[in-house]
C-alpha cells in the first residue's frame, strides 16, 4: 500500500504534522488541510485514496464533508472525534465513515487503522505467493522455502521476510520493519530486529557471512536483494 495518497484534515497543525510523520514513515503520500472548505476542494481535486477527517472544523464541519463526499465518491474516511458517546460515533458511521478514532489518540493506532481500512478495499490484499529467485513465500499457507527446501521460519521471521519480499530492493529501517511486518503492538526494541535478521540469514543464506538475499545497508537498515525473474501471484 506504499505510495497511496492520504488527505489529513484537522484544524490543529501539531496534530496534522504528527499524523503526517507517521503516515510518511509507512510510505504514504500525505496532503493536508486545516479547514472544511479546503478539505472538500482537495478531496475532489486530489482524489486521495483515504481521508483522515476531524469532526470539528472551521468553515464546514467533518460531518457535512462526510455527507457531501458520500454523494460523490466511496473514498474511505476515518473520522477523528473528541466526542465519546456511542451516539456521536454512530452518527459519523451512519453518514458513511469507514472508521473513527477518538481524541486523544495514538498516532501509531491511527496509522494501523489506515492500513486496516485500505486492506479492506478490493484488490489491496496483496499476493498470496511471492517467488523471488529460488525463494518462495506462500502467505496462504504461511510457509517459505528455498530451492524446495522448507525454511522452518518462526512467525516473526516469516513476517519480516514476507514484508521485505513484497518490496525487494527497498531499504527498511528497523522501525519500518517493526511497523510493516510486526505491528505497533510488537513488544521489543529496534535492536531486536538485528537478532531476527541474523537468525533469518542462518536459515536462508548459503553463507550467512556473505549474504545473497538480505543485505545490511549500514546506517539505514536492511533490504532484500532484487532477483532476476521475480514473479508474484
What class is the 5-119 domain?
alpha beta
Domain 129-232's class?
mainly alpha
The phi, psi pair for 222, rounded to 5°, reads -135, 155
pLDDT in tens, 12-48: 999 999 999 999 988 899 999 999 999 999 999 999 9
- Calculate Rg over the CA atoms of the chain: 20
Query: For residue 7, which phi and psi values (nearest 5 degrees)?
Result: -95, 120
Cα separation, 37 vs 173, whole angstroms: 38
Which residue in 119, 191, 81 sits closest to 111, CA to CA?
119
Grid cell for residue 214: 538480505
pLDDT band at 178 (very low <50, low <70, confident <90, very high): confident
Do the beta carbons of residue 214 and residue 203 sit within 8 Å?
no
Grouping H, G, I as helix, E, B as strand and the rest as coil, residue 122 is: coil
Q: What number of CA atoms fall less than 13 Å from residue 71's CA on the CB side?
A: 6
Length of the chain: 233
Q: Is the pTM of this model over 0.75?
A: no
pLDDT one-digit tens code per residue, 186-231: 555 667 889 899 999 999 988 888 888 999 999 899 999 876 544 4
**Most confidently modeled range among 29-33, 69-73, 153-157, 158-162:** 29-33
Nearest Cα neighbor of 22 from 169, 156, 178 is: 178
H or E element in which residue 51 lies = strand 50-54
Q: Where are the domains of the chain?
A: 5-119, 129-232
Amino acid at each position: 500500500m506504499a505510495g497511496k495518497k492520504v488527505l489529513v484534515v484537522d484544524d490543529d497543525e501539531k496534530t496534522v504534522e504528527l499524523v503526517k510523520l507517521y503516515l510518511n514513515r509507512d510510505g504514504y503520500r500525505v496532503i493536508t488541510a486545516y479547514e472544511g472548505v479546503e478539505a472538500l476542494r482537495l478531496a475532489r481535486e486530489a482524489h486521495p485514496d483515504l481521508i483522515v477527517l476531524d469532526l470539528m472544523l472551521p468553515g464546514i464541519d467533518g460531518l457535512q464533508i462526510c455527507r457531501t463526499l458520500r454523494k460523490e465518491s466511496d473514498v474511505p474516511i476515518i473520522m477523528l472525534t473528541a466526542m465519546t458517546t456511542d451516539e456521536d460515533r454512530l452518527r459519523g458511521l451512519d453518514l458513511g465513515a469507514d472508521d473513527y478514532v477518538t481524541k486523544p489518540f495514538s498516532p501509531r493506532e491511527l496509522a494501523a487503522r489506515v492500513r486496516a481500512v485500505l486492506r479492506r478495499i478490493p484488490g489491496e490484499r496483496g499476493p498470496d505467493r511471492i517467488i523471488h529467485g529460488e525463494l518462495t513465500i506462500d502467505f496462504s499457507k504461511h510457509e517459505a522455502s528455498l530451492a524446495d527446501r522448507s525454511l522452518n521460519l518462526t512467525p516473526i521471521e516469516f513476517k519480516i521476510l514476507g514484508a521485505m519480499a513484497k518490496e525487494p530492493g527497498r531499504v527498511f529501517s528497523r522501525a519500518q520493519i517493526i511497523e510493516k511486518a510486526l505491528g505497533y503492538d510488537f513488544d521489543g526494541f529496534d535492536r531486536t530486529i538485528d537478532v531476527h535478521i541474523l537468525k533469518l540469514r542462518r536459515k536462508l543464506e548459503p553463507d550467512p557471512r556473505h549474504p545473497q538475499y538480505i543485505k545490511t545497508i549500514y546506517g539505514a537498515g536492511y533490504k532484500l536483494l532484487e532477483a532476476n525473474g521475480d514473479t508474484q501471484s
